[in-house]
Amino acid sequence: PQGIGSPSVYHAVIVIFLEFFAWGLLTAPTLVVLHETFPKHTFLMNGLIQGVKGLLSFLSAPLIGALSDVWGRKSFLLLTVFFTCAPIPLMKISPWWYFAVISVSGVFAVTFSVVFAYVADITQEHERSMAYGLVSATFAASLVTSPAIGAYLGRVYGDSLVVVLATAIALLDICFILVAVPESLPEKMRPASWGAPISWEQADPFASLKKVGQDSIVLLICITVFLSYLPEAGQYSSFFLYLRQIMGFSSESVAAFIAVLGILSIIAQTIVLSLLMRSIGNKNTILLGLGFQILQLAWYGFGSEPWMMWAAGAVAAMSSITFPAVSALVSRTADADQQGVVQGMITGIRGLCNGLGPALYGFIFYIFHVELNELPMPETSSGSSADTQYHLQQNSIIPGPPFLFGACSVLLALLVALFIPEHTNLTVRSGSWKKHCGGHGHPHSPQAPGEAKEPLLQDTNV
């Protein structure tokens, strides 16, 4: 196969690092362009743009995964990275086109799905979770330094240089895929011809979600994930804009906040998580993480001073242990032949939240009249300038209403999680799942006429 060396996890890691390093550089310039382009209803428009992108990614991810099973991973790595980074040069050329292309790019902006499929092709099952962890840690590491570098370069040389540098890094990523990344999917593993049909069952984004209600324990876990990740997805889409425009953070302060939060989250998800899992158990770790998330969101919602945001950010790092603990609970309690389908449900719910969360947060900001119409852009400085901006918000009882709504949602998730048993066997009663596995052990298993087939994607984590 074309490329340098044999396929390895390090190829996937470099692809992810370069893509998100390029986007991390644009953290500060994006906030400026967003406010200049949409001076009215800034939070609403930001939520709609990110919401459309998230929903399109959710709808297209299974299809992209199914096509990569037929045509190979390398071509789709190239496709997804190209479309994910395509909006970058448009930031200075035409801001309106920049945000329009960001929304539409969600159709192909599923690099993580293809990367996880690439990793699954080249790793054994027992080492796969460690490889996925390495990819996720690389994503976090790329965002620890890049916003600070982008903010510094923007302050000294201007935002145009930052956009040019981000574009160059995106092109470097594309060239790396073309030249260095070998194909991971052997020809013998693909269908007989490139014209192999892709069924609707394989491309249906709701296929895994249809089985949610077939087991009460699975239903409780999925409801917990939905109620806790919905506010988290909305928070990711708007929080840095909120810090910059409402709380009066400078570009450097936002970059430092992202770096500190990223480092603390990595520590929480490695050292702290393992200690908690051994000492208090899996379920109690989930409950503890949800408790930290409630405290963090409530603090964001009522906080009116910058120091409160920093304190809540430290709590937010501890709340990041929730989803790894949920994944561990599923992997420990689900039967071996049920791992893929249950993890697929959770991944599908998170994808759905990535579309609904940003739009919901933008709408709540809009109905509570948290606007930037009369707020001037803050001057970039090393201190906490633009004090008048966040003092204007102190007249409101709740400076950040969406965050308080998110705290209520996570409180419901905590109440639901209380009913999840610590030790159980998850069983998704589905004859179609047995048929899907039947090619390996039960080729003659009958299937009821009304049952849907499971997409052949359990190893791709799509």
Domain range annotation of the chain: 1-185, 211-372+399-421
- Is 223:353 a contact under the CB 8 Å cutoff? no
Q: Which residues contact 124 (CB under 8 A, 6 or more apart)?
A: none
Instruction: Give the pLDDT of residue 170.
Output: 93
Taking the C-alpha atoms of residue 12 and residue 18, their distance in angstroms, rounded to an integer, is 10
CATH class of the structural domain 211-372+399-421 = mainly alpha
Contact between 65 and 117 (Cβ < 8 Å) = yes
The reply to whether 1-185 and 211-372+399-421 are identical in fold is yes
Please give the Cα distance from 78 to 85 (Å, whole number): 11
Question: What pLDDT, on the 0 to 100 scale, is given for residue 373?
Answer: 45
Query: Measured on CA atoms in the order 202, 204, 210, 215, is the torsion positive or negative?
Result: positive
Q: What SS3 class is residue 426?
A: strand
Looking at residue 442, what is its pLDDT? Answer: 39
The CATH code that applies to domain 1-185 is: 1.20.1250.20
Residue 218: which residues within 8 A CB-CB, separation 6 or more? 211, 212, 342, 345, 426, 428
CB atoms within 10 A of CB 419: 11
Residue 414: what pLDDT? 94
Coil, strand or helix at 423: coil
Are 406 and 297 in contact by the 8 Å Cβ rule? The answer is yes
Q: Is the backbone of residue 158 left (phi > 0), alpha (psi -120 to 50) or beta?
A: left
Taking phi over 0 as left and psi of -120 to 50 as alpha, with beta for the rest, 448 belongs to: beta
What is the largest distance, in Å, between two alpha-carbon atoms of the chain?
72
- In this prediction, residue 293 carries a pLDDT of 92
**For every one of its 462 residues, what pLDDT tens digit does the chain have, with 9 covering 90 and above?**
576 778 888 888 899 899 989 998 988 888 888 888 888 778 888 888 888 888 888 888 778 877 877 777 888 889 889 988 989 998 888 888 888 888 888 888 778 778 877 887 787 766 766 677 677 778 777 877 888 888 888 888 888 999 999 999 999 999 999 988 887 776 555 554 455 566 666 667 777 677 777 778 888 888 998 999 899 888 887 888 888 777 878 878 888 888 888 888 888 877 888 888 888 888 898 999 999 999 999 988 887 788 888 888 888 888 888 877 887 777 676 665 555 566 667 777 877 888 888 888 888 888 877 665 444 444 443 344 444 444 444 444 556 788 889 999 999 999 999 988 876 565 655 444 333 433 333 333 334 333 333 333 333 333
Three-state secondary structure call for residue 422: coil
Q: Could you tell me where the beta strands, DSSP code E, fall in 12-67?
A: none
Distance in angstroms (rounded) separating the CA atoms of residues 341 and 346: 9
CA distance 81 to 23: 12
> What token pair was written down for 434?
């047995």
Cα angle: 378, vertex 384, 389; to 5 degrees: 45
pLDDT for the residue numbered 195: 53
DSSP reduced 3-state for 359: helix
> What is the Cα–Cα distance from 459 to 128, expressed in whole angstroms?
10
pLDDT of residue 415: 94
Burial 79-110, CB ≥16 within 10 A → b, else e: bbbbbbbbbbbbbbeebeebbeebbebbbbbb
d(CA 219, CA 416): 10
Mutual angle of helices 322-333 and 339-367, in 10-degree steps: 150
- Indicate the helix (H) or strand (E) that contains 160: helix 159-179
Task: Note the pLDDT of residue 3.
Answer: 67
The stretches of 320-381 forming alpha helices (DSSP H) are 322-333, 339-367
Q: Which pLDDT belongs to residue 188?
A: 54
